[in-house]
Amino acid sequence: MNKKIWIKSPLAILAENADNGIVIQGSKIVELVPKGALPMSAFDEIYDAAESVVLPGLINTHHHFYQTLTRAHPDALNKELFPWLTSLYKVWTHLDETMIYHSTKLALTELLLSGCTTASDHHYVFSENLENAIDIQVEVARELGMRVVLTRGSMSLGQDDGGLPPQSVVQDEQRILDDSTRLINTYHETHQGAMTQIALAPCSPFSVSTELMIESAKIAKENKLCLHTHLAETIDEENFCLKKFGMRTVDYLEHVGWLHDRTWLAHGIHFNDEEIQRLGAAKVGIAHCPTSNMMLASGICKTLELEKQGAIIGIGVDGSASNDGSNMITEVRMAMYLQRLKYGSSKITHQKAFEWATKGSAQILRRDDIGEIAVGKEADLALFKLDELRFSGSHDPLAALLLCGATKADRVMIAGKWKVIDGEVLEMDIKQLMLQHSAQAKKLYTAALNN
């Protein structure tokens, strides 16, 4: 029988009726302990959380792990999306399997240390040297014990066909669809508490054909999978859709069979009122990526309008070449501040920002077993201490995490198992990880320079 752990008397907790903590058994939360009460049944172990702010594990809904190898790349500095992509495509064509292993490991470790327990990655670069990128990501996630939703991205519309990416990083569409089916059959888990799930994610309207979008939707429907893509990130993308397809982005989404409640979109900035109403009616999810949107000057997502109409808002750090980090607690802070700039401080509270990064992100991924501290949910937790200079003099602990700028979790639990203790990932040599990762980044830079 699994032992019971009482996480006792937290300094603050993002949950109702749990002022005196929570009880974990196996991978699940089995009891909330109200203020002044004790657990109703015997427990085997206590963790005293008197100095800890306890959150549900943060959930990252959009990322590109491989981009940790091209942070602050000189060819991509000070550019908007399309020229930024054009500069980096010629670098990413040289990615290989070793680079994917180390970039995935570093990105997941960085996320984990920031309180993230579930991460979705959008990998879409499949050159001839990189057939098994998703398989490698699964391997690394299992090694670290991270919960992941890995999306089989794709690009099929190269420059020769009127698309944005070079031919060296696009694939034949049947090859994409066959590999998508292989990954679903090999790795996708459907049970409660699933650690590894697959979604299908043609990269964007400017890098895939209409046919691939339609066929991906069919496969997803057959397998009850989610669909993911970039949409309405910039005005350039809107203009591309009008020129290439003769329709705006949401019209295109509906045309290819994607306007439904198993679709989530990265960015979702440039929608008009009528499009927002249609997205909301379909319960489409939006991964808000504030830091990336600011770095590339893409615009500000209309979160409150989208929510009001029924769309679901979550948070994504986006790729680590447009962020250029993989820190979830920092991203929640950025979401709060960027949205305050649009809507005002009273409408965008710290509680709302936390909700986007937990319950909202879980709903985007169509998961009802994570994202909340509640009985029956998975025991995915992030614990933060307010023991740095930045927190001295703070009063509301939950608000202080964002207002004072928390950057690192003290403890992280996934499926009832501690993965981070005292701010360190268990059984992880961080210096060695960084050495290996940096070596691969230099190798990639040199390969691009010499070609």
Residue 1: per-residue pLDDT: 64
Residue 127: per-residue pLDDT: 83
| CA 96, chain centre distance (Å) | 23
313 strand-pairing partners = 286
Task: Indicate yes or no: pTM above 0.95.
Answer: yes
Specify the domain boundaries for CATH 2.30.40.10 within the chain. 4-56+378-425
Which H or E run includes 54?
A: strand 52-56
| CA 222, chain centre distance (Å) | 24
Q: Which residues of the chain have pLDDT under 50?
A: none
Task: Record the tokens describing residue 372, joined without a space.
Answer: 């909340």
Q: CB-based contacts of 429: which residues, under 8 Å, 6+ apart?
A: none
Residue 172: per-residue pLDDT: 93
Specify the domain boundaries for CATH 3.20.20.140 within the chain. 58-364
Q: What is the C-alpha to C-alpha distance for residues 414 and 420, in angstroms, rounded to an integer?
A: 9
Amino acid (one-letter) located at 96: D
Q: Where are the alpha helices (DSSP H) in 296-429?
A: 303-309, 328-343, 350-355, 361-364, 397-403
The number of C-alpha atoms within 13 Å of 356 and in the hemisphere containing its C-beta is 30
Residue 168: per-residue pLDDT: 86
Q: Which CATH class is domain 58-364?
A: alpha beta
Residue 64: per-residue pLDDT: 98
Residue 393: per-residue pLDDT: 98
- Residues comprising the chain, all counted: 451
CATH 2.30.40.10 fits 4-56+378-425, yes or no: yes
